Structure 1
Amino acid sequence: MPSALLPIIAWDYQFAPNAQKSRNYLYITHTPFKICEQPFLLPRPALLSLGITYRRVPVLSIGKDVFCDNASFLDAMQELLEREGEGRALKRGGADRAFEAWGYRSFWVALASVPAGLVSKELGEDRRELFPIFARPDFATLRQNGLSELRSMFETAEKEFLSGEEGPFIGGTKCGMADLHAIWMVKWALQTIGVAKEPGFGKEAFPKVHAWCDAFPAHDDAIQKDQFLSTEEATMQIQGSEYACPEVGIDGTDPLQFKGGEEVSVEMTDATPGHHPQEGKLLGLSASRIVLQLETGIRLHFPRIGYAVKRAG
């Protein structure tokens, strides 16, 4: 389906659960995008060349606006698709933020269910500052309890979220933001790391959960075919593009009392302090978003929740 949006690039790799969340949105809304695949481990030269030192994936760009977290990207996409007026935006509901919180809780629960064979020593060290569980010497012993916790969350999805008769989505036959927020780790666990093959996780145990996941495209090699850009192609595309999002301005009532143009640093609040901070010139500060202007011309967006802003230096 043609799109009037500026070019969208996912700077990520498909195995990452957070990357699958944003891709779920793009696929289910029939929004074209390209992929500049990033290394599983640091460094990530393509992003560094754009002035981006933030280390998590996905990083997503719409034109020359770059989003460092799914929360800000999905909000921006919803606004752009709603403004487009072609009915592609997902339906909203009053409990969307609650489903979002549940989805992120499922992320931390699911980490313990990752097979130990998938977590190399290099991965454990690389992710130590973000996900200390992978660096635990007893990580291999945690899986059975992790599966037990995950099964409890599946019970909630099966018997509460998907309790209606229509399905396959929360609240009926049409996918909404509630589904997008709640499903990503459930789908990742079942289909990407093979939890569906574990006793007690099959379709006979959770028929509605499986039907829910199957209503979204599978994250496999076939779906990515012809979507890849080289680093050079992606860099040329983003640098030659325009800004996609309106400026958010500086909220004068914000407790930080920062002014536009100040040099600031943004860090994740759930990682070790000083761990890959992102510096830039403050361009926007609202109740929901932080926007930095980088020397490369990129505008970098962060959500307010989960990120700390302070003066650089």
Structure 2
Amino acid sequence: MSDLILHHYPSSPFSEKVRLILGYKQLGWKSVVIPRIMPKPDLLPLTGGYRRTPVLQIGADIYCDTALICDVLEHRQATPTLYPEHNKGVARVLAQWADNSLFWAAMGYNLSPKGAAAMFAGQPPEAAQAFAADRGAMRAGMTSLRPGDAAAAYRSYLRRLANMLDEHPFLLGDAPCVADFAAYHPLWFSRVVNPAMAGVLDATPGVLDWMDRMHALGHGQMEKSTATDAIAQAAASEPASLTDETFQDEHGIALGASVTVSAETFGQEPTAGILRAATRTRYTLERQDERVGRVHVHFPRIGFVLREVKA
């Protein structure tokens, strides 16, 4: 069975979501640390353009977006499950809210002028400027919450999470599910990455207790690796055979067509390739790259846009 290779960096909140899931499932994985901002010269040969963090690699298969990565890890190790049978739909919907509404409120608060000053204290001005320019480019076309509005929303969302934890140790019961991991990582950023902003959590002690329980899950069995090794593994591998899931055509784009896939909003850099699968839940593109050879790059349908490239 091919290694799980996570391309990430330590302060990435969405990477923390996946690292904790690896811990919950007690999976072994290889860590490849990538730059926080562009350029990312050893990641883009694998993804073809997608530059958000993290990315999961299994041989010559590249998985983009944590919603899809969660499904891949669930398939790899079914127990303990991320999707409890009696709450499967609720868990997915709550996770989607947390990865979007909660995340952007938290980041608007964490990276407010006060938060940014704290996070980049002691660093040269160029570091903060480069980070702001990079994230500004990724947010092109998006409406960002103003700091005051973000703070108010964040506090409200924390109270709602606290209400959910009144009777259970985790959001939907006695064990964590995908919703817990999605809700945890923006709060982790406040508490761990930018602790000068962690005071917002003090009004919800039940949430802090829950965060301690989540933190205790750990990160599984991590082994340090390098981008060179990851690229070599992709080049030495063939993409896994695609399953016989039904082709679901919503766009009038045939399998085998030249296409691009890009995020709907944040980080819209497109990945171009040949459409090899379009199932109920994901797209798969085949790409060729001189450094990594033939790879399959996988995206979830939700949150991504498929377009045909006309000759």
TM-score normalized by structure 1? 0.82
Partner deviation per Cα, 1:120-177 (whole Å, 9 max, x = no partner): 11112112232369999xx9xx545533321111100001x2121x41x124332222
- Report matched runs for 1:272-287 at 5 Å: 275-287=268-280
Aligned counterpart for 1:269 among listed residues 264, 285, 289 = 264
Whether the 8 Å CA contact 2:46–2:62 is kept in 1: the answer is no
Distance 1:191 1:133 in 2: 30
Structure 1 stretches lacking a partner, 5+ long: none
The number of residue pairs the alignment matches comes to 290
Aligned counterpart for 2:90 among listed residues 81, 95, 98 = 95
- Report matched runs for 1:48-197 at 5 Å: 48-50=44-46, 52-82=48-78, 87-92=79-84, 93=87, 94-103=89-98, 104-113=100-109, 114=111, 115-117=115-117, 118=119, 120-131=128-139, 142-159=146-163, 161-164=164-167, 166-167=168-169, 169-194=170-195, 197=198
Structure 2 stretches lacking a partner, 5+ long: 121-127
The residue type equivalent to 2:274 in the other structure is K
Secondary structure of 2:283's match?
A: strand
Secondary structure of 2:252's match?
A: coil
| Structure (1 or 2) with the greater strand fraction | 2
Distance 2:67 2:50 in 1: 15
- Which residue of 2 is the match for residue 25 of structure 1? 21
TM-score normalized by structure 2? 0.82
The residue type equivalent to 2:304 in the other structure is Y
**Closer, same or farther in 2 for the Cα pair 1:244/1:191, shift >3 Å?**
farther
- Report matched runs for 1:183-262 at 5 Å: 183-194=184-195, 197-198=198-199, 200-202=200-202, 205-217=203-215, 227-241=223-237, 243=239, 246-247=242-243, 251=247, 253-262=248-257
Secondary structure of 2:260's match?
A: strand
- Once the two structures are overlaid, the 10-residue window that deviates more, 181-190 or 52-61, is 181-190
Question: Quick check: 1:302 aligned with 2:295?
Answer: no
Whether the 8 Å CA contact 1:34–1:229 is kept in 2: the answer is yes
**Matched-pair identity in %:** 24
**Closer, same or farther in 2 for the Cα pair 1:218/1:46, shift >3 Å?**
farther
The residue type equivalent to 2:181 in the other structure is L
Whether the 8 Å CA contact 1:250–1:260 is kept in 2: the answer is no
Distance 1:135 1:150 in 2: 17
Partner deviation per Cα, 1:87-134 (whole Å, 9 max, x = no partner): 333342230122113202111101111212247111121122323699
Whether the 8 Å CA contact 2:4–2:29 is kept in 1: the answer is yes
Secondary structure of 1:173's match?
A: coil
**Closer, same or farther in 2 for the Cα pair 1:130/1:173, shift >3 Å?**
same
- Which residue of 1 is the match for residue 285 of structure 2? 292
Tell me the C-alpha RMSD between the 2 structures: 2.9
Secondary structure of 2:173's match?
A: coil
Greater RCO, 1 or 2 (C-alpha within 8 Å, sep 6+): 2
Whether the 8 Å CA contact 1:124–1:135 is kept in 2: the answer is no
Whether the 8 Å CA contact 2:22–2:220 is kept in 1: the answer is no
- Once the two structures are overlaid, the 10-residue window that deviates more, 256-265 or 50-59, is 50-59
**Closer, same or farther in 2 for the Cα pair 1:110/1:246, shift >3 Å?**
same
Whether the 8 Å CA contact 2:63–2:298 is kept in 1: the answer is yes
